[in-house]
Amino acid sequence: MPVVFDEANRVFKLDTPNTTYAMQVIRQGCLAHLYYGASVEDTDLGYLICHRNVSFAANPQEEFPDRTFSFETVPLEYPCFGISDYKSACLCVQMPDGTTATDVRYQGHRIYAGKPKLQGLPATYAGEEEADTLEIDLKDSVSGAVVTLIYTAFRFHDAIARSCRVQNTSQDSLYLRRVLSACVDFDHHRYDMVNLYGKWARERQVERRRLAHGKQSIESLRGASSHQHNPFVAIAGPNTDEMNGEAYGFSLVYSGNFLAEVEVGQLDTARLVMGINPTDFTWKLGPGEAFTAPEVVMVYSQEGLGGMSRTFHRLYRNNLCRGPWKHKRRPILVNNWEATYFSFNEEKLLAIAQQAAQLGVEMFVMDDGWFGKRDSDKSGLGDWFVNEQKLRGGLKSLVDKVNALGMKFGIWFEPEMISEDSDLYRAHPDWCLHIPGRGRSLSRNQMVLDMSRQDVLDYLFQSMSAILSSANIEYVKWDMNRNLTEVSSRLLPADRQQETWHRYILGVYQLMERLLEAFPNLLLEGCAGGGGRFDPGLLYYAPQYWTSDDTDALERVKIQYGTSYVYPVSSMGAHVSVCPNEQTKRSVELQTRGYVAMAGTFGYELDLTKITQEEKEMMRRQIQQFKELHGVITYGDQYRLVDPFQDADMAAWMFVSEDKTEALVQVVQMRTDPNPPLRRIRLQGLDPSKRYREQDSGRILSGQAWMNAGINIPEMYGDGAACIFHLLALEL
């Protein structure tokens, strides 16, 4: 049984195939964290808690004068603010008298098969045969706040999902000042912290640093998970690498303001907490009301950072992404944005579509500029009706003509935004986020709609539904091109204004869910100025996300490499674009641009009417090659072989099919050496007993040889040169 309760020792133990998580109800109903790591069969693990006298430590009143019992040494499973635990807290509840000390104690628990949904929130999912769930109730007897900790252990993945729900059982309103989703205490601090930082057009760069005394954190206060920090942290041993060593991964299934913080305390222990950012957050909880915090997915690996990543990939592919596109190859598309920007008409779009159809492209996507009075980024957002000055035959006429070419049709929306120069703003100036008496900040000449308002959500659903119903539209690119400022909702009273940040995200989730219920076959792709909201919360609704606005192949190598620490390639929108590149002005050969885009959903973003015949022939080969290889790329296990953040000259990664009969190795030369050394790369993930043929050379070697002796990289010249190796196992 993956979840057990040892009643004699009052120990809860959760097991996945190779990991164990344990906690214990100790004195006076305190719930203490015991262990998280490699599998342990025993349940009598209470000995792991150390009791000793620590100078100046406070002792709970009911235990006084036992000075060996202190929350300085007892690692609480869900620590609260204001009692004698001075480390980072998960919960802070303000009572009617203004006090904030909170102390929750064990009340009861439930164990059952399967996994519950989280009210209004995205989360991983599992049937009764896939997972088991433990719910533990803790109560603060003074405030009446009841915290339910929810843990799900997956039977086929080394992952544990956890969240919490806080209910007010008192007769007075309570205010949640801080309600984080997860806490894990480590018994020492000799770890590194790995996170993914960035900026627009350079998202999810890998950073690794040694834990130090004090607090180290990443966070977002932008209203989105952000370009700057991804809601993911790994805690890894100092010698942990891609293949070996301990790695703990923590991924928050949420798209708004977040905090991931690690504190190293005076006794050289480390505590990680993760959840909604408590800055400018307060939630009023009326009598009988409940608040649900988003989910944190925890992964432990003894096979290094690579093993951690592969667990996240499998879990998010199979138990987070949903809908008919979950396991289908996504259409190879062409997007017109970098080809035309705002300057297009039906004739121009059809010319690109006709060329695309001849190359074997499967879907045409019309980007920004098709609606309202939209000839630049200065107007039109919110006016979701067709601009018939550009599309004189109307939307259905264009879609029908694209369909007649044998291609699907997709369209761009930016539902969360509004232009000052728009019919919608003139009719409803109060619908944007704003604070009376303060100016309304513009970014990209636009403001943000108040997605916490039901009337705004209803308008967006009706206007978007009208467009999607008017023609055979099978794909939507959902964009978000600015972060939140002057965050306030005119429909909320003063004591609920700090709920707006979270209510905004709940509104985004609600609208996406409504659209997918109304159009169940729709393929939704997320975008936020590129990868500014690439997080697990959005993947629940959109199984693929535009990874970055930077389409330069060499930049994309690093962006996609960092993204793969958490997210599978099936979620990464990746396109071949024009050279010189629009963002960097760098030229990279078409073959390399194709290889890099194949490590994603694959498509094109350039003017196909301006390419040469030679480029057309290569694109046809790329499209055919991706169709042949997409199975091993999309559903295979990914192994990172050469790290471009550590090796300035090269990057390499590979995919291995689940049955280990096929593998694809991709190598990109980041920088040319005028007198290049011999490069040999050891492969990973193959079956050592199988024999594999490398398709181009015809060389046949055992998996053992390919992994231990390696594969020679041919001499390549030019920054951005690339090659691939396709291995197939021989039948016995």
CB 144 within 8 A of CB 168: yes
H helical segments located in 499-577: 500-518, 536-539, 553-563
E-only strand ranges, 173-269: 174-186, 192-199, 202-210, 214-220, 229-236, 247-253, 258-264
- Distance (Å, rounded) from C-alpha 175 to C-alpha 609? 60
CB 446 within 8 A of CB 418: yes
CB 133 within 8 A of CB 2: no
- Distance (Å, rounded) from C-alpha 46 to C-alpha 393? 73
Give the per-residue SS3 of 368-385.
Answer: CCCECCCCCCCECCCCCC
Element containing residue 2 per DSSP (H, E): none
**Phi-psi region for residue 201, left (φ > 0), alpha (ψ -120 to 50) or beta?**
left
- Distance (Å, rounded) from C-alpha 348 to C-alpha 610? 12
Which is catalytic among the residues 15, 368, 535, 549?
A: 549
Mutual angle of helices 590-598 and 553-563, in 10-degree steps? 10
CA distances to 378, 446, 456 from 426, rounded to whole Å, are: 14, 14, 14
Catalytic: 549? yes
The DSSP code sequence of 314-329 is HHHHHHT--STTSSSP
CB 141 within 8 A of CB 104: no
Beta pairing partners, 415: none
Which is catalytic among the residues 185, 367, 368, 479?
A: 479
Q: Which residues lie closer than 8 Å to 254 by C-beta, 6 or more apart? A: 121, 225, 231, 275, 276, 294, 295, 505, 535, 536, 537
- Which tokens hold the place of 129? 């045969």
Supply the Cα-derived Rg of the chain in whole angstroms: 27
Give the per-residue SS3 of 197-209.
Answer: EEECCEEEEEEEE
Q: Which residues lie closer than 8 Å to 494 by C-beta, 6 or more apart? A: none
User: Which DSSP letter does residue 268 get?
Assistant: S
- Distance (Å, rounded) from C-alpha 677 to C-alpha 716? 11
- Which tokens hold the place of 293? 């915090």
Measuring CA to CA, which residue among 18, 136, 30, 114 is closest to residue 76? 30
The angle formed by the CA atoms of residues 236, 238 and 242, to the nearest 5 degrees, is 60
Measuring CA to CA, which residue among 143, 140, 128, 106 is closest to residue 12? 106
The DSSP code sequence of 341-364 is TT---HHHHHHHHHHHHHHT--EE
Measuring CA to CA, which residue among 535, 548, 545 is closest to residue 203? 548
Residues recognised as catalytic: 479, 549
